[in-house]
Amino acid sequence: MKIDFKDKVIVVSGSSKGIGLKIAQSFLESEGKVVILGRTKSVLDKINQNFSESFSLDSFLILQCDVTDPNQVKSALTKVQEEWNAIDIVIANVGDGRSVSDPLPSQSDFSKSWNTNFTSAETLARESIQGLIKSNGSLVFISSIAGLESIGAPTDYSIAKSAIIALSKNLARKLAPNVRVNCIAPGNVFFPGGSWDERIKKDPDRIQNLIETAVPMKRFGTPEEIANAVLFLASEKASFVTGACLVVDGGQTVGFH
């Protein structure tokens, strides 16, 4: 199924690596105009170099932006409007599952995780809503199966990801019919440099056993598989889908429902 995003302007946060980078690349391959948001200039410079070899320079815009900071988000979205005069699709992707194992983390740890995993999504949504209403656009949040069930993930991370699902459902009802709002809940996704890569290097046998026993598909997911789900929900192929949370986890949470 070919999905065409020709002339659509797509903003993807957390798109300097892993899932977010693959989402951005997939939209570009589908002829969208893509805005890549990330915090680290050296990483963004490398993406700029790589993308310049594969895509036309007028098809992507790379902006340094901390999406937990409303002022930086406003500035970035203003640049997008100046460049392309529209915002059609927004993908709120920032997340980090690294935390502590305490049943209830310290206030400092909890606030840090909340900022990274929830405030980043809330801020991007808040600042982009008016543009999405104007374009009858689509907003997709990236949550986690940790936000659906207690699967042993850090408490602070799980709660933040659960709140994202609640936010997406509330916005879906209250922004309809002007804006469609949906959510993806990925399971265990491997990519070089990611948290699962770190865990495998520390204890490969334990992680292999975990995946084979917890995931019916007996493997990790890939960033491309998550990107495929995102592109579907963001596209006109899903024009009657809003308020959904699509689980992409190889069956890991099937037994919980």
Mean pLDDT of the chain: 94
What token pair was written down for 127?
A: 């600042």
Q: Helix axis angle, 107-114 relative to 155-175, nearest 10°? A: 40
Residue 195 lies in a domain: no
C-alpha span between 37 and 235 (Å, rounded):
21
61-to-51, 82, 97 alpha-carbon distances in Å? 10, 12, 27
The verdict on whether 148 is a catalytic residue reads no
pLDDT tens per residue, range 98-125: 777 878 889 999 899 999 999 999 999 9
Least Cα distance to 93 among 7, 173, 6, 26 occurs for 26
Of the listed ranges 43-52, 82-91, 150-159, 169-178, the one predicted with least confidence: 150-159
Least Cα distance to 11 among 87, 81, 84 occurs for 87
C-alpha span between 45 and 52 (Å, rounded):
11
140-to-26, 94, 111, 137, 203 alpha-carbon distances in Å? 15, 12, 24, 10, 34
Residue 199 lies in a domain: no
Tokens 């689509």 belong to 138
Give the count of domains, the chain: 1
C-alpha span between 149 and 65 (Å, rounded):
31
CATH at residue 239: 3.40.50.720
C-alpha span between 84 and 79 (Å, rounded):
9
Residue 211 lies in a domain: no
Residue 200 lies in a domain: no
Per-residue pLDDT band for 52 (boundaries 50, 70, 90) equals very high
Mean pLDDT over 5-31 rounds to 96
* Active-site choice (157, 190, 191, 220): 157
Residue 218 lies in a domain: no
C-alpha span between 181 and 15 (Å, rounded):
19
Mean pLDDT over 197-214 rounds to 93
What pairs with residue 141 in β-bridges?
Answer: 92, 183
Residue 196 lies in a domain: no
Q: Which domain covers residue 140, as residue numbers? A: 9-189+223-250
99-to-95, 113, 154, 160, 216 alpha-carbon distances in Å? 12, 7, 6, 12, 26
Of the listed ranges 123-127, 152-156, 205-209, 227-231, the one predicted with least confidence: 152-156
Q: Helix axis angle, 223-234 relative to 18-29, nearest 10°? A: 50
Of the listed ranges 9-18, 57-66, 148-157, 178-187, the one predicted with least confidence: 148-157
Least Cα distance to 185 among 242, 122, 250, 124 occurs for 250
Q: Helix axis angle, 70-84 relative to 120-135, nearest 10°? A: 30
pTM of the model: 0.95
Residue 16 lies in a domain: yes
Residue 3 lies in a domain: no
